[in-house]
Amino acid sequence: MKPTIISPETKKNELIAISLCFIAALIFNIVSIIIFDTSWIELFSQIHIVLILTFVFYFVLLVLRGLTWLILKLVRKKQTN
């Protein structure tokens, strides 16, 4: 099997994507603390929920990127025919 090499640019892009997902989940948590008027300690005590939500956001992002790639591939294939 041929070894797979991941470029530094790809690593950087994925790190940025998951960081943005974490920030979005953290903002989601902050907004829920404000809306439900709960204690700010939940910002730290609910970090496991924020991490789970981060991976859910990242998975949704991966699905959307995959669908975009698939649609673009189909459109390009139709243009060449």
Element (H, E) at 12: helix 8-36
Which residues have C-beta within 8 Å of that of residue 55, sequence separation ≥ 6?
21
Give the confidence band of 80 by pLDDT, cuts at 50, 70, 90: confident
Q: What is the mean pLDDT of residues 56-74?
A: 96
Is residue 6 scored above 70 in pLDDT?
Answer: yes
- Give pLDDT, residue 81: 66
What is the value of pTM for the model shown? 0.84
CA distances, 7 to each of 12, 13, 21, 50, 65 (Å) = 9, 10, 21, 29, 18
Digit-coded pLDDT (tens) for 14-43:
999 999 999 999 999 999 999 999 999 999
- Give pLDDT, residue 3: 85
In the chain, where the domains are located: 9-80
